[in-house]
A and B are shown apart, each in its own frame.
Chain A
Amino acid sequence: MTDPGPVRPLPAPSFRGTPPFPEAARRALADDQLRTNLRRATMTIRTKRQRAVDERADWEALRVAGAAIKDDVLARLPELLVELESNVTAAGGVVHWARDAAEANRIVADLVRAAGASEVVKVKSMVTQEIELNDALARAGIAAWETDLAELIVQLGDDLPSHILVPAIHRNRSEIRDIFRRAMGGAGRPAPAGLSDEPRALAEAARLHLREKFLRARVAISGANFAVAETGTVMVVESEGNGRMCLTLPEVLITVMGIEKVVPAWRDLEVFLQLLPRSSTAERMNPYTSMWTGVTPGDGPRAFHLVLLDNGRTDTLSDRTGRQALRCIKCSACLNVCPVYERTGGRAYGSPYPGPIGAILTPQLRGIARHPVDAQTASLPYASSLCGACFDVCPVRIDIPEVLIHLRGQVVRQHGWRARIGSDEALLMAGLGATFRSPRRLAAAERGAGLAGRLIARGGRIGRWPAPGMLGRWLRFRDLRAPARRSFRAWWRSTGSGEGQGQ
């Protein structure tokens, strides 16, 4: 290999600064191309997942088992992590503990520097997105190269990921061709001349571009899907084989892992290796499953570092209802069935964890159980119509709607009834709360509403009308049926228990 000269890190965009969900969603909805790409992609994967799941008569039993194993892990996390640490250490690995993103990033940057490297190759990993590792490394002068095809597209496009499994789901193939043509040269080997948007040609361009990096890199960074406490074995599942290149070729391997990823025993993987591929890629088995236990002389990396990351996980664990979010195995089935995600895409959620799981995980990792959160974070539990499709597909039975409602309660409690969540909403809730406490007040309010309706309605409908607040947000897009002239309770009373059936 020829020396590439000094490598320059690519910029690493951040989700910081994303507006609250309603506004971010409004912008995303205006992008017709995005909506077309998302609809096609989510519909396809949704149908395939259903087929893969329907093959298993014991699917429900698997879900129950998956949830039970994860709940057991969460109940005795400290002892399992210590067991994992001692087994990784015994196998020649080094374990580091990181309280938060800053600590994890510092540990990783120091390890890369100590290896004398100025670049790393990366296996697709959610947790390193969560801690914005690429940005931290770039600030330390270290270039981090994404090697997952979709992550590469996002990185070269100076873009943010929009899906857990398919981070470039918002891009179609002609957009990908344009990104490769424009940006590959600045990051290494340029795209072949005359690159077409044929999937095969795009994959070949990525292969050539990445091969150079695999062969050159001395340090690799990965996440982990699972880590087995009883043996100290770490596991990554993937589809492309690029992950395995990273896991086997470089001299130093650094794995960053959320503490909830530990499982007690090998036999537990039997459950998750059935649940995960069918739920995420709709495959019976994923193409590449890499496992390693410490280091093996003469085979693979010479040094292995495991960084165990908290970053809000123990806070999440302290919430009895919310902690089930930590069962998540990052399959993304909930994204693919979510009617909100399908229309807004992932970037509107302002976090690498989008969709229904993101709406419950992000606020908790940001500490909603402990302290008031910012307006963007507080908007996430409301980014759902509570339709329940996510719970039905979740392979570890996370009751996402239940947690969403629970977190909404925390938002309201933290911000107070009159504060930031929209004063007309708090006012309406207080007013209706008082009204519903008395049937007399309710009857009077109904008479008032009936009268008001008669004044502004035409043909029983209130049409376009520049009303303020929540009513305005309804009427901007929809007519509103006018309140009845005579409520049901008024009819019941006036007809004497409805006996006359007077209409």
Chain B
Amino acid sequence: MRVALFITCFNDLLFPEVGRATVRLLRRLGVDVAFPEEQTCCGQMHFNTGYRDACVPLVERFTRTFAGFDGVVTPSASCAAMVRGHHPVVAAEAGDAGLERAVGEVAPRVHELTEFLVDVLGVEDVGAEFPERVAYHPTCHSLRLLRVGDRPQRLLRAVRGLELVDLAGADECCGFGGTFAVKNADTSVAMGGDKIDAVRASGASILTSADTSCLLHLGGLLSRARTPVRTMHLVEILASGGAPA
């Protein structure tokens, strides 16, 4: 199976280790993974902030770049939701029938990482070992746009040595919300403050999620509050240990 990695602009610049861990994990599971270098951004930030015209060339580029692969895997629930849910909208609005057709081909083959592992590869135990107390933050877009359900938790529970702790109010938004974090910074931080209070109360040493965007916000709050809880993308946990699956 020939699979392309969609790293996302966010991870490319800020969290390259998440991309490296994704490559390591997928190869360990026997997946032939490529990184098409023509990729840039899915356009989510422009789309969600109202700059819809700017999305059209980004959707065209995405569709062109990832055409011809059996599947596309991305370590971002939010970007996967943008491609699957909103690329068809952008294409339809652009009034370009060719683009609409192309998006219709490519977008459904984009998988968020935990969906790919559980649904396509059919694995829950990826052979990882990670002896830490971990709290999982189910991001809004993984929960309510992609509906990944408990796939991430099933993957985490299979990790040797890992203790998955309860996070109070887990399904409530952390307040990141893309440009919401700076356009409504006070409200964003009020929401994030309650979330990190819950993280502290959980007793976890690691906070993980399927999106680094929320973790950038929560990690920034934890760091400012000098809280010794580290943030890690879920794939970094799943890629650790290294026992072949």
Contact = CB atoms under 8 A, between A and B. Distances in A.
A and B held together in a complex: yes
Interface of A: 21-22, 25-26, 29, 35, 339-340, 343-344, 381-389, 391-392, 405, 407-413, 417, 422, 425, 429-430, 432-433, 435-439, 442, 446, 449-450, 461, 463, 470-471, 473-474, 476-481, 483-484, 486-489, 491-493, 497-498, 501, 503
Interface stretch (B39-47, B96-104, B115-123, B151-159): B39-47
Given A339-B173, A487-B12, A479 B184 contact: no
B184 A383 contact: yes
Contacts, number: 199
Contacts of A491: 16, 19-20
A488 B11 contact: yes
6 contacts: A22-B186, A385-B176, A474-B181, A479-B219, A487-B16, A503-B20
B4 to A, nearest CB: 12
Contact of A385 (B58, B143, B188, B216): B188
Contacts of A405: 47-48, 50
B220 A481 contact: yes
B50 A389 contact: no
Nearest to A30: B186
A385 B186 contact: no
A24 B105 CA distance: 45
A407 B50 CA distance: 8
A430 B53 CA distance: 11
Interface string B38-70: 111101011111111010011001000000000
Given A471-B182, A488-B11, 14 more contacts: A340-B187, A382-B180, A383-B184, A385-B140, A386-B140, A388-B140, A392-B144, A442-B12, A478-B221, A478-B223, A484-B14, A488-B16, A497-B34, A498-B35
Interface in B1-39: 7, 9, 11-17, 19-20, 23-24, 34-35, 37-39
Given A385-B191, A484-B13, A433 B144 contact: no
B71 interface: no
A478 B16 contact: no
Interface string B164-175: 000000001101
A487 B175 CA distance: 26
A432 B41 CA distance: 10
B14 A483 contact: yes
B223 A382 contact: no
B45 A432 contact: yes
Nearest to B22: A488
Closest 5 CB pairs between A and B?
Answer: A385-B177, A408-B50, A478-B220, A387-B173, A388-B144
A478 B189 CA distance: 8
Nearest to A495: B20
Given A339-B175, A478-B217, A436 B40 contact: yes
A491 B140 CA distance: 30
Nearest to B190: A343
A223 to B, nearest CB: 30
Contact of A388 (B54, B145, B185): B145
A489 B183 contact: no
Contact of A473 (B38, B39, B176, B185): B185
A228 to B, nearest CB: 35
Contacts of A442: 9, 12, 40-41
A488 B179 CA distance: 23
Contacts of A391: 144
Nearest to A39: B194
A88 to B, nearest CB: 41
A203 to B, nearest CB: 32
A405 B45 CA distance: 11
The winner among A339, A344, A392, A433 for most chain B CB atoms within 10 A is A339
B172 A437 contact: no
Given A463-B224, A484-B16, A476 B47 contact: no
A29 B190 contact: yes
A350 to B, nearest CB: 14
B37 A386 contact: no
Nearest to B62: A436
A498 B23 CA distance: 8
Interface string B67-79: 0000000000000
A501 B217 CA distance: 29
A471 B47 CA distance: 20
Given A22-B186, A382-B183, A412 B175 contact: no
A417 B53 CA distance: 11
Contacts of B11: 488
Given A387-B173, A449-B13, A474 B185 contact: yes
B220 A344 contact: no
Interface string B196-219: 000000000000000000001101
A410 B49 CA distance: 11
B35 A433 contact: no
Given A22-B186, A433-B46, A446-B12, A489 B144 contact: no
A435 B87 CA distance: 19
A429 B177 contact: no
A382 B184 contact: yes
Interface centre among B51, B54, B217 (most CB of A within 10 A): B51
Most A-side CB within 10 Å, residue of B14, B16, B175, B179: B16
Given A343-B191, A433-B54, A488 B175 contact: no
Contacts of B173: 339, 385, 387, 389
Contacts of A435: 40
